[in-house]
Structure 1
Amino acid sequence: MRNWLVLISSLPSENTSLRTKLWRLFKAIGAHPLRDGVYLLPDLDSCRSSFDSIQHEITQAGGNAWVLETQPSNEAQFPVFFDRSADYASLLEHLIQARRLGASSPTDAERVIKRLQKELDQIALIDYFKEAAHAQAVLAMEQFAKDLRLLHSPNEPHFATGTIKQLSVKDFQFKKWATRKNMWVDRMACAWLIKRFIDTGATFLWLGHPSECPEDALGFDFDGAQFTHIDSKVSFEVLIAAFDLHIDGLTRLANVIHFLDAGGIPVPEATGVERMLAGLRSQAPDDDQLLAMVTPVFDALLIAFQNDNEQSQP
């Protein structure tokens, strides 16, 4: 029979802020209230750690708390308190609504996906007995993300496992480079990086479809291209790694590009950069003009990051 943990607490009556804080903590870990001041969790290492932390919080504030092990007389009595089926059903409804609303841009699509993925992760975190509803929600989320990304970026590269080959800049001069037309963040940044630091004599082809890439062109940022997403790196980061570019400020710029293209850790500058690039793309008649328009933006960002680094030096 499964063991369970019970946290019993007695709080100072005058400390209302502590009560509010504890309510949020208990809710965050999915503890079930058996009665006022008595909370239940399954006997798992993560749950025990959570209860121990809350117990410490209570005693430090002048209250009393005890964490006890128990077993119910009826084995089926407690698991029903942790049934997250309704939460998963709510998430599935949110996925349906998101499909109807769609997204206005690839970046907006990534925001929608991240928001709903976060909702799924939060449910799963307190779903201690993952069953069919969890598996159904995971599959639905994966399909939703795949469909939304395909809609906005039909030829967007997938992250592939591989090794980034080390290359020399001197072997890549006056080359023909090719990527998908209607550039967005990663392709814009790649084209800028190539022209600025890899191949100053580069010429670019803008492809309607990756299959149109000529054999004598160096493809980037599409599946099957020589330079594309590898492991957790977007194409811009792959180019930096492949040519071993150690340029002050480039890592911070790469963090911005990664976040805007693939999500991940938020970057303070990302929203402003995205708005500038979106505005320029809406005005550019073609990708050659677009590259010319975004080049000063990336130049200025790199200089700003370099200036920040200089100011932070002792």
Structure 2
Amino acid sequence: MKSRKRRDIHTEPENFWPSFTDMISTIAIILFFLMFLMYINNIIAGKDLEFLRKELQDTDRRLEASRLEISQAEKNLRLLETELDQTMAEVEAGQLALTLSREEIEEQRDIIANSNEELGNLRSKLQGIAILRLDVLNAVKDSVESVLGKTNQAGEPLVLISDNGSIVINEGVLFDRASYTIKPDGEKLLAQLALAFEAVLDDSETRASIDAINIQGHTDERGEGDYNRELGAMRSTSVVNFLMQSNPNLESTYSDYFMASTYSEYRPVDDRQTEAAYAKNRRIEIGIILKDSHVQDVIDTYLNDAMDAFNESND
């Protein structure tokens, strides 16, 4: 019984090599797979590295471009700084010039103000001379009207002041038509004129500005030219002669101020061909001629004063 049991316990040894071979194959497969994975990984890594190189190169190029832009910007900035400095210098120069200009403007304003004042004074003096003529005529007119009245029996004005600044005496007051003989009413009027002119010329200041008192004869357009000229001249001469005869003091003292002239029919005051127009055109005008030298003296005085002021301002 015992020996039988030993046989049952003893067994044949198992075959180990097939299992070892399987294990080696498995390991080889695993190693191959690992190597394949490493190969794939190297390929992928290589591609990533190439991509990174390209990215790096692109980055370097962009960086270089940025550096160039920065360099150009710095140059532009330096140019702008230079231009700014120049502009600031110009502004400072402009401010200085503006300050000087303002000072010059103020000086010019003072000069202009003084010139305007002087010019105003000159204008006043010249206006005074011009007004003097009207003052003389009005004084004569008022003197006549104060004694003889303003109109004759026909209601016509004895004397009036025309727009050109002359005393106008209607021909009908002094003369009959086509005559140079003074009528009685005309003699009264001229006698009063002679007294008035003496009173005016007695004023030395007024007399200093008067060059002449012009007695003008005017006719209408009817008749020949030579006849009208002769008639106008005879009438104006008759007026001057009567003024001197009626007032000997006027003749002895101031006769050199009086003159006779004629404009014949060539200066009508009414161009119509009517009896009323003809009557207006037949007239005696008395004009006051002022001395040009007196006016020139006023102007020369002003110019000399202005030049003195100008020279003083430039010194």
TM-score (norm 2): 0.20
Larger Rg: 2
Q: Structure with the greater relative contact order (CA < 8 A, sep ≥ 6): 1 or 2?
A: 2
The structure whose residues are more often helix, as a share, is 2
TM-score (norm 1): 0.20
